[in-house]
Structure 1
Amino acid sequence: MTLASTALFGGILLASGAGHAQQTIEGAGLTITTTPTIASDYSFRGMSQTRNRPAAQLTLDVEHSSGLYVGAFVSNVAFAGTNARQEVDLNAGYRFELAGVKLDLGATYYAYPGYDAPTGGYELNFYEFALRASYEIAPLKFVGLAAVSPDFTGESGLGVYLEGGVDVTLDYGFTIGGRYGYQWVERNFATPGRNEGAFGAEDYANVSLFVSREIIGGVTGTLSGVFTSLDQRQDCFGGSKVCDNRVIFTLSRTF
């Protein structure tokens, strides 16, 4: 069984036992949250990780009353020219509030179990440090993200990502929002004669717009439009379609 099917199966089990899926262990000060998700595509910073195909995902978060937390995320992936089929992310950090701003200082390790680098290829695994922030003035919620990887995916060197956005709560349970992000990578393309990894695309901007609402029984539906600044035929990993502008539909349930 792949990790993707495990995530989907886990989501079905969680849905069938919704009253017990979230647990607050008061004696230990722990809150455990699980979120199964089914999506028409897995988009990471504007790029499809499944080549515009559906994804089954599961997120786990364990937070202590002190603000310390650990978590995990699993999803199926499909990268052209590789045998990568699943992604497992492990993260840990500290959440706190300062002058009304909610902050999350953490680190994530992105792993692709079962992946074997092809001849002349490089590792996909990488780790990243990130600072997330949010500030709410109802009905607006402002969010930001700054992430730094010492050696980004594909052994492409220093990677820096910045993102900002806003969510707006509307009547009848609707939320709309948008995000603008920009990804910088030290080595965008391989240099002939040098044994160094590379990302495979230019630095790029990405924009996402979404509308979401609870549909039934705590299940939230989200419709998103995703756009990047990359020319799909020239700049996107040798003509790959993972940078296409596209519409994504997601169903999720947080327990």
Structure 2
Amino acid sequence: MRKSILGLSAPVLACALAALSAPAFAEDAPSSDLTVSGNAAVVTDYRFRGISQTDKRVALQGGITVTHSSGFYVSTWGSSIDDYVANGSDQELDLIGGYSKTIGAATVDVGVLYYYYPGSHGANTDFVEPYASIKGTFGPATAKVTVNYAPKQRALSIDGGLTKKDNVYLAGDLTASIPKTPLGVSAHLGHNFGPSLLTFADKGYTDWNIGATYTWGHLTLGVSYVDTDKNFVSSYVSADGTPRTTRNLSKAGVVGSITASF
């Protein structure tokens, strides 16, 4: 979900226990109170806040969410990544717990996200990030504002984990379906505040994208144009000791996707 070789480690236990407790919760609650949804996808490039996590190569992704009628939910989502992201790890696993409630025309969503990178050879790569969002629907359009705040952690430091850094990401999203068609459009604008490892050690950067989708049954085909005001190339040593230099990970590009939902 970000770049490099630093991190945290403890909160994963709490998030994992919350996720593991979901089946027991499902046994006690009426079946109508729980909704299970999931998806699997192939994307031509995994972009996190505008920055490629796969060196501009294909990624496999998937996730599952269990939602209770009260508004509480637990979720997990994963993606393949390039080994420059997290000290040799080739996968990212996100563990999520939150609560969503609709109040009038607005839906408020709050929760905590834990980014876990298995196989990172003991480096500080994992971190926790609480989030909050509010969205409203206006006819076929939905507008959403989100803020993510990662408190001070060694995973976000820019000095090899000797100190701790925090990070704020503020984003706005607009999506709309085109009436009487299977088509949809979207736009995104976000700013990553720094300095921290998530902003590549400087004062931050802005990312944006525009996209379109076509839905056919359980399949959704998507294409988007992604760009940032960064110019970022990473030189590093891979897990096998080979010196490597990435492509320009923040350069504008077109990203395609095929997603199956269930």
Q: Could you say which TM-score interval applies, normalised by the shorter chain?
A: 0.7 to 0.9
- 105-114 vs 133-142, greater mean Cα deviation: 133-142
- The corresponding residue for 2:137 is 136
Is the Cα contact below 8 Å between 1:224 and 1:248 reproduced in 2? yes
Distance change in 2, residues 1:170/1:28 (3 Å): closer
Q: CA deviation at 1:79?
A: 3.8
Q: 1:158 aligns to what SS in structure 2?
A: strand
Distance change in 2, residues 1:153/1:70 (3 Å): farther
Q: CA deviation at 1:28?
A: 6.1
- The corresponding residue for 1:109 is 114
Instruction: Flag structure 1 segments of 5+ consecutive residues without an equivalent.
Output: 1-22, 190-197
- TM-score scaled by structure 2? 0.76
Q: For 1:5-44, list aligned pairs within 5 A.
A: 26-27=30-31, 29-44=33-48
- The corresponding residue for 2:187 is 178
Is the Cα contact below 8 Å between 1:126 and 1:151 reproduced in 2? no
Q: How many pairs are equivalent?
A: 216
Distance change in 2, residues 1:188/1:69 (3 Å): closer
1:72 aligns with 2:80: no
Q: CA deviation at 1:242?
A: 1.3
- The corresponding residue for 1:158 is 166
1:249 aligns with 2:250: no
Q: What is the rounded CA distance, in whole Å, between the counterparts of 2:153 and 2:61 in structure 1?
A: 23
Q: Which amino acid aligns with 1:221?
A: L
Q: What is the rounded CA distance, in whole Å, between the counterparts of 1:78 and 1:248 in structure 2?
A: 16
Is the Cα contact below 8 Å between 2:156 and 2:197 reproduced in 1? no
Q: What is the rounded CA distance, in whole Å, between the counterparts of 2:255 and 2:74 in structure 1?
A: 28
Q: CA deviation at 1:26?
A: 4.4
Q: Which amino acid aligns with 2:223?
A: L
Q: What is the rounded CA distance, in whole Å, between the counterparts of 1:27 and 1:231 in structure 2?
A: 50
Q: 1:83 aligns to what SS in structure 2?
A: coil
Q: Out of 28, 44, 50, which is 1:46 matched to?
A: 50
Instruction: Flag structure 2 segments of 5+ consecutive residues without an equivalent.
Output: 1-25, 158-164, 236-244
Q: 2:84 aligns to what SS in structure 1?
A: coil
- The corresponding residue for 2:217 is 217
Distance change in 2, residues 1:104/1:111 (3 Å): same
Distance change in 2, residues 1:248/1:152 (3 Å): farther
Using the aligned pairs only, state the percent identity: 25
- Deviation sequence 1:98-152 (CA, Å, 0-9, x none): 23111110000001001026xxxx6221110001221011122101110000136
- Which structure has more relative contact order (CA 8 Å, sep 6+)? It is 2
Q: What is the rounded CA distance, in whole Å, between the counterparts of 1:177 and 1:138 in structure 2?
A: 15
Is the Cα contact below 8 Å between 1:176 and 1:211 reproduced in 2? yes
- The corresponding residue for 1:96 is 101
Q: Which amino acid aligns with 1:91?
A: I
Q: State the superposition RMSD in angstroms.
A: 2.3
Q: Which amino acid aligns with 1:218?
A: H
Q: 1:127 aligns to what SS in structure 2?
A: strand
Is the Cα contact below 8 Å between 2:196 and 2:202 reproduced in 1? no
Q: What is the rounded CA distance, in whole Å, between the counterparts of 1:174 and 1:221 in structure 2?
A: 10
Q: 2:129 aligns to what SS in structure 1?
A: strand
Distance change in 2, residues 1:107/1:254 (3 Å): same
Q: CA deviation at 1:202?
A: 4.6
- The corresponding residue for 1:8 is none
